[in-house]
Every structure is written in structure tokens, then in C-alpha cells.
Structure 1
């Protein structure tokens, strides 16, 4: 399993940003086999982590034309800076007290 860690300093985010995020999330799950996606913001910082079965799925997602448009909007409008890290998960364990 792989994870994509997106860390950003946000710029001006508007309704178009929110709408685009929803479309991108749907696209990732329904067309590129995304397993899970979690995003949080604090102040001007944002971090999003998505989980994937394979690096090939991540590469296909990255090359999607709609995703490319969203990335360009992010660079031009919604983010001041960002970093993307693709990592392979070597081990996973959890606890659930429910």
C-alpha cells in the first residue's frame, strides 16, 4: 500500500476550490482506486493524506487531465506553496476501542 502526503500553505480558497476538491476526491475514488483520503487544516497550513493500492494508480491519478487542471488552479490561485510525498507503507497496525 502507498500514501500520498500533500502539505500546503494555503492562499485564497473559495467556493470553486471546495467544489473542485469534491470532484477530485470523487474522481480519485471512482476511477483510480483510492482507498482513503483525509485532509485537515490549521491556520494557513493544510495536510491531506490519501491511500492507494499501487504506485501505478497514483501515477494514473497524477496524469488525469481534470487533475492537471486542478493542480494548475492550485498553483495559480489556491496555494502559496505545497509539497507532495509518495511513500510506501511497510507496516500498519491499529487499535479500536469501540
Structure 2
């Protein structure tokens, strides 16, 4: 599903990853992180995700402080640790300011 976002500006966190073959709890944890952000993290606007050989998740945020707070959320820190230990061969995170958007 395409995330509903407000009129720019807002921020995008772009998380690109290559997975290991270990799936032990990955999907459950990924879904739980989006649900947690939706329910408890001020400034969270939505997320979009796709996976083939390379996975990409883009989450949208109202401001940089909200992103910083989410990065230090206790449950999210645990998911990050599990990602490094079990689920990802490699990943990269980019943060960008969205100045314009278009839709069809």
C-alpha cells in the first residue's frame, strides 16, 4: 500500500537491505515495528516496503526529532540488534527531506 503523506516538506528514512536466509521471526518483528510506530511514535506518517533480491523500506516522518526518537525506542533497538545478528547480510539507511511529491 502507498503511504498517505501530508503536503511536503516531511522526511523519509530509506532503509535498503540484503537479507540472510534466516527468517526466524523477521516478518512478525517487521510488522510489529510498523504497528508500534503507528501507535506510539509521534511524527510517524507511514511506511512502504518491497522485497526481491534487495529489500527497501521507506518510512515517512514529520521532523528529524521524531526520527531520532524512533531510532532510540527500546523495542526498535532490540529489532535493530536482531537485524544485525540474524536477518541482514548488509543494510544502509538514508535520511532525506521530501520537498515535493506527485501521485497518480
1:12: how far off? 2.5
TM-score (norm 1): 0.89
Match of 1:41 among 37, 47, 51: 51
1:2 Cα deviation from its structure 2 partner: 0.2
Q: Report the count of equivalent residues.
A: 94
* Higher share of residues assigned helix: 1
From the superposition, tell whether residues 87 and 36 of structure 1 become closer, same or farther in structure 2 (CA, over 3 Å).
same
Task: Give CA-to-partner distance per residue, 1:23-71, whole Å, 9 cap, x none.
Answer: 101111111132111110112x100001111111111000001100000
- Identify the residue that residue 75 of structure 2 maps to in structure 1: 66
Structure 1 residue 2 corresponds to structure 2 residue 11:
yes
Q: TM-score, normalised by structure 2?
A: 0.84
RMSD over aligned CA atoms reads: 1.1
Check if 1:24 corresponds to 2:42: no
Could you tell me which runs of 5 or more consecutive residues in structure 2 were left unpaired when the two chains were aligned.
1-9
